[in-house]
Structure formats: C-alpha cells, structure tokens
Amino acid sequence: MSIVIAGSVAIDNVKTPTETQNGLLGGSASYAALAASIFCKPAHIVGIVGHDFPKEHLDMLAARGVSLDGIEHSPQESFTWTGEYFNDMNTRTTHKVGINVLENWLPKVPEAVRSAAKVAVLANMSPDNQLQTLEQCTGAEFIAADTMDLWIEIANERLHEVLKKIDLLVINDGEAKEFAGTTNLITAGRRLQEKGPRYVVVKRGEHGSYLFGPGAQDFFSCSAYPLPSVFDPTGAGDSFLGGLAGWLAANGKSKPTFDDLKTAVVHGSVTASFTCEAFSTRRLQSVTADDVAARIAELKNYTSFA
Ligand code: AMP
C-alpha cells in the first residue's frame, strides 16, 4: 500500500545544553517520511527545497527508500529553523524561522501518487498547505495530520477546516490543551475529536501518548520507550506520526480498527525514541523494522503485569 507525506524539508540549527550543530537535515516531512520508510517503501515525500539545500540530505533520504519525485527545487533559499533546548530537554525555544521557499509554496503531489496513495500524512505545515495537499490526494482512505501552536494561533479557522477532513490528528499535549481550551488532557482529546477526526493522539513527550477512538471506551495509554539519555528530541513528533502511518500503510490498514491504531501508535512511539538518540536524523536513518520490533518487545515487558 502506497503512502504520501507532505510537509517541510528544512535546514535546522540546533543547540542543546552540551552542543550546537548547524546545517542539519530537518523538517516535518523529512522526519515523517524517513520514519514511514522504515516500514513502507517507497514513502512518497512532497516538499520544497532551495538552491542551498545540501544534496547529501536528499541522497540519504533516497537511499533509505524515500521517493523524491514530489520534491520541488526552488531558486530561493531553503526553509530554516533554529532552536534551542534547555536543561531537561523538554523545554524548547525557537530562535529563528526562515520561511523562504515555504512563503508561496503550493504543494504538488506527483500525478502517479495522487490516486495510488491510500494513506496520506499532512505533517506540520500551514493549514493552507495541508488543504492544498489533501485536494490532490484523491485516493487517500486514511488521512493523518499534525499541527503546532503557531497555526492554532494564526490560522485557527483553516485548521478547523483541516480537522473536518482528516481521520487522525496527532498533536502534543501543550498544543492539545491550548487548542481545546482546557487544562485536562482527557477532555482535550475528546474535544478535539468533536472538531472532526475519529482518532486523536496526544503526545506527552517522555511520558508517552494517549490515543482516543470513536467509542466511549476507546482509549489507549502508550508508554514512551525509556531512554537513558536524550541528545536531540527535534523531529520526535514527526517521526511518531511517520512511523505510525508507515506501519498502517505497510500492513494494508487504510481502514484501521481501534486495535490497529493501538499497534500503529506503539510503532510510532518506539520509532520516535530512536530520533532522540542523536542530532537530526542521524540515528533514525539507520533504524530497521527489526530494531523497532525489538524495542516493542522490551516495552511490552516493561508495561504488562499479571
Ligand atoms: P518537532 O520536533 O516534531 O516539533 O519537529 C521539528 C521540525 O519541525 C524541525 O525539523 C523544523 O524544521 C520543523 N518546523 C519547525 N517550525 C516549522 C513550521 N512553522 N512549519 C513547518 N515545519 C516546521
């Protein structure tokens, strides 16, 4: 089953309490497509890069099974993001965003992918870009989307339009509370479902994630894989989404049951744990489906009891 992933393809500059690294591969679509490709090849990425985008980043994505047919090349500068993490690695500040190529971008899903992709991922980008992508995904049977505080604040109405058209929203805890107007996460998840998506996943960083399904009893609490050290959590959320959707596509689950979604969430969560282990995509880009399966087996052991 084919999968398409649209979003940002970025040059990131990341500072942690111990290290600063510049010119890194970043972007919501880069992480999500790379994560999806662990399970489902090719993973069709849709994005735009500028003249300054390092070729080695694109070569790496292609080598991992990400199809670059949907990557547009612009004479402008690439989208850039500069951020800093503080002591506990949970607090992040964005220092600078260079919108550049994303300013007037109109996503173009390759003709051959439009009807073929049964699973569509709208990774973090403007709700306008998410809706433009969606219009072209004529064959999509399962649509998953991510968003961020910026769009909740400046494009709230358009984001509500997105929510009416998707099956799954994946959002982090702080943003879920802000969007739903409550400080209670369970209420937030349920309120977000009322805005459209049958399924909502609330990511809670190192504390795991909550999955909400259509039935009153459809609730699943997924633990995060316990990592002893976190080097760079950038892209963990995007990797979660990509891993989750890639697992669905690889297993032909474009009309998943709640139990399918639970398994997909576990795969997304464990996939994201690898992303945190090195800067940028450096750990994620060598992860195999067997690596994920081994961590899932461990996690099962850590979280089940008689
Ligand atoms: P995450 O850590 O999962 O929130 O994702 C971080 C990635 O999102 C970075 O690699 C950034 O390049 C990318 N990013 C940051 N801000 C934006 C934005 N406004 N639109 C699209 N992508 C963004």
Q: From CA 77, how far away is CA 53, in angstroms rounded? A: 8
Give nearest CA residue, ligand 1 atom 20. Answer: 125
- Amino acid residing at 23: G
- Which of 25, 94, 99, 124 for mutating ligand 1's site (highest number of atoms within 8 Å of CB)? 124
| Backbone dihedral region for residue 23 (phi beyond 0: left; psi -120 to 50: alpha; all else: beta) | left
Q: Model-level pTM greater than 0.85?
A: yes
Per-residue confidence (pLDDT) for residue 91, from 0 to 100: 86
Query: What domain range includes position 94?
Result: 2-303
| Residue 107, pLDDT score | 98
CATH number of domain containing 134: 3.40.1190.20
Q: Which of 14, 28, 82 to mutate to test the pocket of ligand 1 (most atoms within 8 A of CB)?
A: 28
In the predicted model, residues of the chain with pLDDT beneath 70 are none
pLDDT at 295: 98
CA distance 34 to 36: 5
Report yes or no: 173 and 205 within 8 Å, Cβ to Cβ: yes
Quote the number of domains for the chain: 1
Res 87: pLDDT = 82
- pLDDT value of residue 90: 80
**Does the Cβ of 213 fall within 6 Å of ligand 1?**
no
pLDDT per position as a tens digit, 161-219 = 999 999 999 999 999 999 999 999 999 999 999 999 999 999 999 999 999 999 999 99
Quick check: CB of 132 below 6 Å from ligand 1?
no
What are the phi and psi torsion angles at 210 (to 5°)?
-115, 135
**Which tokens belong to 112?**
């051959």
Which pLDDT belongs to residue 89? 86
What pLDDT is attached to residue 21? Answer: 96
